[in-house]
């Protein structure tokens, strides 16, 4: 065992010694004492004599019993072990002064080790206990499968491919199994973090533990915590420190420190912003709304498979605006599919049923059902009937009670409600004034609209957009226009500030160009920069655009609504995304030191291929903020690559910026392979030493893959 190899005193204790155990002047018996392999327990005659956890040692005649025999044995051969609690002392006399010294020094070292919580040894102990638990057949060996199961039990996440490599390295005896000390080695290699140790030792007075004061200094200076730092430090010790002794001393060992840094508290994403934290009582048009395009498609737009599954997936991801393309179907039943293409078809009523079942699983806030209507008036009547019968109270059929009709209600007002977006005969006011006879009789026949379906549309009346001037004078707060991505980009280029103002008053929807038959996506950031709320993406298509969408909506309880920045909610503000220097303009400097990576997944499944990882940091925001920078690549190391590369950015409009971390496998001859990514709003970043838990291409977690970074945000002078 390591602790013994290095130390002569411990070595001789490990071999064992015959000493006299003294109970009284007359009871003096020879007993054989030896130190156990755990470097903690001293045994004699198969009984446990002492455990360094709860012991102190006194030299010489320092107990009643030894004083009583002082004349018989000289003090330099005598010592006493004193136990915590009620247990009596153990008085011993060694055969020689040298032997006594060896035991006294040895025991003190053991106690010191524990007091300092040479947490590493403590950890070994913990690992060995686990090993014994998992070694079912008691043969002291574990094969790879048993090791894998054990790590699962220990709650240690691991990547199979890395674990197997380390298993082979730890199997020094090349037996295909790990004996207990080999397993300790394996576990240490799996969890070893020199990069974190470096930070720990910078703040630790003795390199063994952080006192409460050390931890407070670290939290204040590096993690930039300000208020209630004492409480916070104590909470971290309570929550993440595995050693009871350390917790009692209000201290943190390296293992506790590492656990804190890999926890949600040590994550780059501020945990208080993962929860619902925004004001949800403002008009609907003051929020960005998570929105899906052609929700019924699972693949491309030409031959893709239509399925209610598309709706289930989108709603479960927190999407709050879904789309249906309705066409006349057989036997009078309206169907949903991508018209004039070979995509398969599903019944409208099945989509409505799924909507009823899944709308509020991920979020209580309202869902908008955007209807693209190609049905005859007869089948529209049936659509209205399905909506009313299947959704019941969930369908909003009339304006909310007591709401003055000057602005849209809030997400809070509309909790648990499904809103229909579609064409409507007349306006909201007509219904309110009891005007049933619509003066636009001529327009009705032209619109081919059934009154029943029209009545289901309340706050989202689809209208054609005729220009910002026109809508400023004529349009109503409940009217919503849709723009293709190219039209929206043209408006942003030519009249960005007007577009932002238009979106202060009413909803806008932007959708992908019809040319994107492969279901690819446009950059949603450009549209959010102009305050467009309903930016509809093909949820079924993974890539940077969906990463941005997931990143923006990963805050605020994943509820699908994000409050727009204050300067995009005021009629009297002029914000132009193309030229954002406004009154309260304060650019920030963002510095990211990319320190290391942990257990990055293997991308190329070819035998023996190991990745050459690099990290790219991208800023998505107003055009002035768009930027990307990369670290160098590291040869052949996906397990624990180390960079220590610093990337610098200037952020002009932090409220709109997203930061995306991408790991790629460098390839000099072809396009780099994607390894993992994580995207978050700039405003949700916690500064300091942080871990980033990477996600796969489709936005799902790939634990335990992570990056370790140091983030600094300062004002630009």
**Sign of the C-alpha dihedral, residues 404, 405, 406, 412?**
positive
> Does position 437 have pLDDT exceeding 50, yes or no?
no
Catalytic residue among 338, 386, 652, 693: 338
- What are the binding residues for Ca(2+)? 294, 323, 325, 372, 610, 612, 636, 665-667
Task: Tell which phi-psi region holds residue 608, choosing left (phi > 0), alpha (psi between -120 and 50) or beta.
Answer: left
Catalytic site residue 693?
no
For 370, residues 6+ apart whose C-beta sits below 8 A from its C-beta are 321, 322, 323, 324, 421, 422, 460, 509, 534, 536
Per-residue pLDDT at 601: 83
Least Cα distance to 271 among 680, 593, 670, 711 occurs for: 680
Catalytic residue among 61, 162, 293, 691: 293
> Does position 215 have pLDDT exceeding 90, yes or no?
yes
Per-residue pLDDT at 119: 42
- Angstrom distance (rounded) from CA 308 to CA 474: 38
pLDDT tens per residue across span 29-84: 998 888 877 667 787 765 666 666 667 788 988 777 888 888 899 999 999 887 75
Per-residue pLDDT at 1: 47
CB atoms near residue 151 (< 10 Å): 18
- What are the binding residues? 21-48, 294, 323, 325, 372, 421, 423, 482, 509, 610, 612, 636, 665-667
Per-residue pLDDT at 124: 66
Per-residue tokens: 397: 């059929």
Catalytic site residue 464?
no
- What are the binding residues for substrate? 21-48, 421, 423, 482, 509
Pairing state of beta strands 534-537 and 287-292? Answer: parallel
Full set of structural domains in the chain with CATH = 8-116 (2.30.29.30), 120-191 (1.10.238.10), 194-266 (1.10.238.10), 284-432+452-568 (3.20.20.190), 588-715 (2.60.40.150)
Q: pLDDT grade, residue 117 (50/70/90)?
A: very low
Q: What percent of the chain has pLDDT over 70?
A: 89
As a dihedral over the C-alpha atoms of residue 499, residue 500, residue 505, residue 509, rounded to 10 degrees, the angle is 60
Q: pLDDT grade, residue 638 (50/70/90)?
A: confident
- Angstrom distance (rounded) from CA 633 to CA 664: 9
> Does position 420 have pLDDT exceeding 80, yes or no?
yes
Query: What is the DSSP secondary structure assignment for residue 623, as one 8-state letter?
Result: G
- Angstrom distance (rounded) from CA 224 to CA 228: 12
């Amino acid at each position: 065992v390591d602790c013994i190899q290095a130390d002569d005193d411990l070595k001789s204790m490990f071999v064992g010694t015959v000493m006299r155990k003294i109970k009284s002047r007359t009871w003096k018996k020879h007993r054989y004492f030896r130190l156990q392999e755990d470097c903690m327990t001293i045994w004699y005659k198969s009984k446990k004599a002492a455990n360094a956890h709860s012991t102190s040692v006194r030299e010489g005649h320092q107990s009643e019993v030894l004083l009583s025999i002082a004349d018989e044995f000289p003090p330099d051969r005598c010592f006493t072990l004193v136990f915590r609690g009620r247990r009596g002392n153990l008085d011993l006399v060694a055969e020689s002064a040298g032997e006594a010294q060896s035991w006294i020094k040895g025991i003190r070292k053991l106690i010191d080790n524990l007091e300092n919580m040479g947490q590493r040894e403590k950890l070994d102990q913990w690992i060995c206990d686990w090993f014994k638990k998992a070694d079912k057949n008691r043969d002291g060996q574990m094969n790879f499968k048993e090791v894998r199961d054990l790590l699962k039990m220990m709650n240690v996440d691991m990547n199979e491919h890395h674990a197997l490599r380390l298993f082979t390295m730890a199997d020094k005896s090349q037996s295909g199994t790990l004996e207990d000390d080999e397993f300790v080695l394996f576990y240490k290699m799996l969890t070893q973090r020199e990069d974190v140790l470096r930070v720990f030792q910078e703040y630790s007075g003795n390199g063994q533990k952080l006192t409460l004061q050390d931890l407070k200094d670290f939290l204040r200076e590096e993690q930039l915590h300000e208020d209630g730092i004492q409480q916070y430090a104590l909470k971290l010790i309570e929550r993440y420190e595995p050693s009871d002794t350390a917790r009692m001393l209000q201290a943190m060992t390296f293992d506790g420190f590492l656990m804190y840094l890999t926890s949600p508290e040590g994550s780059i994403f501020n945990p208080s912003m993962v929860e619902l934290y925004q004001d949800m009582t403002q008009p609907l048009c003051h929020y960005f709304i998570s929105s899906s395009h052609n929700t019924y498609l699972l693949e491309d737009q030409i031959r893709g498979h239509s399925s209610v599954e598309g709706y289930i997936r989108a709603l479960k991801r927190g999407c709050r605006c879904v789309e249906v393309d309705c066409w006349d179907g057989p036997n009078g039943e309206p169907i949903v599919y991508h018209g004039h293409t070979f995509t398969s078809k599903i019944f409208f009523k099945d989509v409505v049923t799924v909507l009823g079942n899944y709308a509020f699983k991920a979020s209580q806030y309202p869902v908008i059902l955007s209807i693209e209507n190609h049905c005859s008036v007869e089948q529209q009547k049936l659509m209205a009937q399905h909506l009313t019968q299947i959704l019941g109270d969930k369908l909003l059929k009339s304006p909310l009670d007591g709401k003055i009709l000057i602005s849209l209600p809030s997400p809070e007002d509309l909790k648990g409600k499904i809103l229909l977006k579609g064409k409507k005969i007349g306006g909201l006011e007509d219904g309110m004034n009891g005007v049933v006879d619509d003066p636009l009789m001529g327009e009705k026949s032209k619109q081919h609209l059934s009154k029943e379906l029209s009545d289901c549309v309340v706050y989202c009346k689809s209208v054609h957009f005729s220009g910002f001037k026109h809508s400023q004078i004529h349009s109503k707060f409940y009217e919503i226009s849709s723009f293709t991505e190219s039209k929206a980009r043209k408006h942003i280029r030519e009249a960005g500030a007007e577009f932002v103002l238009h979106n202060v008053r009413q909803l806008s929807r932007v959708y992908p160009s019809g040319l994107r038959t492969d279901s690819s996506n446009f950059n949603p950031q450009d549209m959010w920069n102009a305050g467009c709320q309903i930016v509809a993406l093909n949820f079924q298509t993974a890539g940077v655009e969906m990463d941005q969408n997931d990143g923006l909506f990963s805050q605020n309880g994943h509820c699908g609504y994000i409050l727009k920045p204050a300067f995009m909610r005021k009629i009297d503000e002029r914000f132009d995304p193309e030229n954002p220097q406004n009154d309260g303009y304060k650019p920030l400097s963002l510095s990211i030191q990319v320190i290391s990576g942990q257990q990055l997944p293997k991308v190329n499944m070819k035998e023996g291929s190991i990745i050459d990882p690099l990290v790219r940091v991208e800023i998505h925001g107003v055009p002035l903020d768009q930027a990307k920078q990369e670290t160098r690549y590291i040869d052949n190391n996906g397990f624990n690559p180390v960079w220590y590369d610093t990337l610098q950015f200037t952020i002009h409009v932090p409220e709109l910026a997203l930061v995306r971390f991408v790991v790629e496998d460098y390839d000099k001859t072809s396009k780099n392979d994607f390894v993992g990514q994580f995207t978050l709003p700039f405003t949700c970043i916690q500064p300091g030493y942080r871990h980033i838990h990477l996600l796969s291409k489709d936005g799902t977690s790939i634990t335990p893959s992570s990056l370790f970074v140091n983030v600094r945000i300062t004002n630009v002078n």
